[in-house]
């Protein structure tokens, strides 16, 4: 096993372990921080896949922007613990009934995917000639994918307006003023 | 030797973890985090296939997936904040009524 194999298994172990801990934590702040660790490991995997551009935007956009947004909301709501009808001492992953069934379904999904992927035979090593250049990606993005790229900007605008409208505090006094005007 | 199958199996495991999180957890923020895990598993698949096919398209799709994930997180968290103002709770079971 070469150094690439060691790095792959190291990053894969970090990604899987951190993701498991994300769904096993009671406190959402720890969940968010562990997810950042998982994204860091995924970024390392992207480097192994000769995709440095994706690795960098994984860190900057995902770990840097989206996860900080989550962290802001967790701290803003200040609701660290999961309130359910279940006993607080029972770990969230060990609760009875429909949730256990959901976990079972997820295991079945993992088994199906594993079965489908392992029976196809070995795909062999990756071929040479990976696209690593940011210039090539950028050229493709602004020529072949120019229309989806522009649609993306509209999507972000809609999401921004939607987030502002949804999270705005609906003040009754303000509404009366508007009605009277 | 690390092959395409290794990456696909890792991605399948991560996707299943995300699915389990959505089913098992009863906290809106953790459910959104589980959705992010699933989106990242799919991103890994795209990059691995793009590498195997020697094409840049996988990385470009990942770019779009990340944009959609950012928009989804912004709107989803705004909905969570507005729900929390109404009920002081993050448990999705407490949002069962259609009107309040």
**A19 band by pLDDT with thresholds 50, 70 and 90:** very high
Give the one of B17, B47, B78 whose C-beta lies nearest to A163's C-beta.
Answer: B78
Rounded average pLDDT over A142-164: 93
Cβ A93 vs Cβ A24: under 8 Å: yes
Comparison of pLDDT for B3 and A34, the residue scoring more:
A34
Full set of structural domains in chain B with CATH: 4-95 (1.10.287.3510)
Q: What is the pLDDT of residue A133?
A: 83
CB neighbours (10 Å) of residue B65? Answer: 15
d(CA A55, CA A138): 15
pLDDT tens digit sequence for A70-95: 999 988 887 656 555 555 556 656 66
pTM, two decimals, is 0.86
- Percentage of chain A beyond pLDDT 70 is 78
Task: Determine contact: B42 vs chain A, CB below 8 A.
Answer: no
* Mean pLDDT, chain A, integer: 82
Contact status, residue A71 vs residue A65, Cβ threshold 8 Å: no
**ipTM for this model:** 0.91
Q: How does residue B39 score in pLDDT terms, banded at 50, 70 and 90? A: very high
Distance CA(B32)–CA(B18), nearest Å, equals: 10
Question: Which of B 69-88 lie inside 8 A of A, CB atoms?
Answer: 69-75, 77-82, 84-85
Could you please report the per-residue DSSP string of A23-51? HH-SSHHHHHHHHHHHHHHHHHHHHHTT-
Structural domains for chain A: 1-83 (1.20.120.1200), 133-181 (no CATH)
Q: Pick the more confident residue, A115 or B36.
A: B36
Picking from B12, B22, B64, the nearest residue to A110 by CB comes out as: B12
pLDDT higher than 80, residue B11 = yes
pLDDT digits (tens, 9 = 90+) for A113-127: 878 777 766 666 777
């Amino acid at each position: 096993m070469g150094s690439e194999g060691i790095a792959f298994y190291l990053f894969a172990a970090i990604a899987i372990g951190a993701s498991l801990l994300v769904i096993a934590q009671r406190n959402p702040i720890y969940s968010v921080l562990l997810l950042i660790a998982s994204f860091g490991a995924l970024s390392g995997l992207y480097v192994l896949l000769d995709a440095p551009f994706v690795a960098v935007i994984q860190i900057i956009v995902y770990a840097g922007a989206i996860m900080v947004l989550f962290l802001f909301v967790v701290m803003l709501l200040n609701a660290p613990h999961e309130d359910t009808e279940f006993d607080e001492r029972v770990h969230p992953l060990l609760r009875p009934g429909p949730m256990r069934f959901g976990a079972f379904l997820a295991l079945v999904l993992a088994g199906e995917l594993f079965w489908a992927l392992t029976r196809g035979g070995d795909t062999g090593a990756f071929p040479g000639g990976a696209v690593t250049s940011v210039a090539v990606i950028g050229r493709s993005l602004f020529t072949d994918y120019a229309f989806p790229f522009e649609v993306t900007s509209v999507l972000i605008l809609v999401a921004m307006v939607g987030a502002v409208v949804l999270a705005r505090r609906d003040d009754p006094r303000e509404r009366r003023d508007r009605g009277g005007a | 030797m690390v092959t395409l199958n290794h990456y696909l199996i890792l991605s399948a495991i991560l996707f299943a973890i995300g699915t389990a999180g959505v089913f098992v957890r009863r906290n809106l923020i953790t459910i959104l985090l589980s959705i992010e895990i699933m989106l990242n598993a799919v991103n890994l698949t795209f990059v691995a296939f793009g590498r195997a096919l020697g094409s840049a398209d996988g990385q470009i799709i990942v770019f779009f997936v990340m944009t959609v994930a950012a928009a989804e997180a912004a709107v989803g968290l705004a909905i969570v904040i507005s729900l929390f103002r109404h009920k002081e709770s993050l448990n999705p079971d407490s949002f069962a009524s259609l009107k309040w």
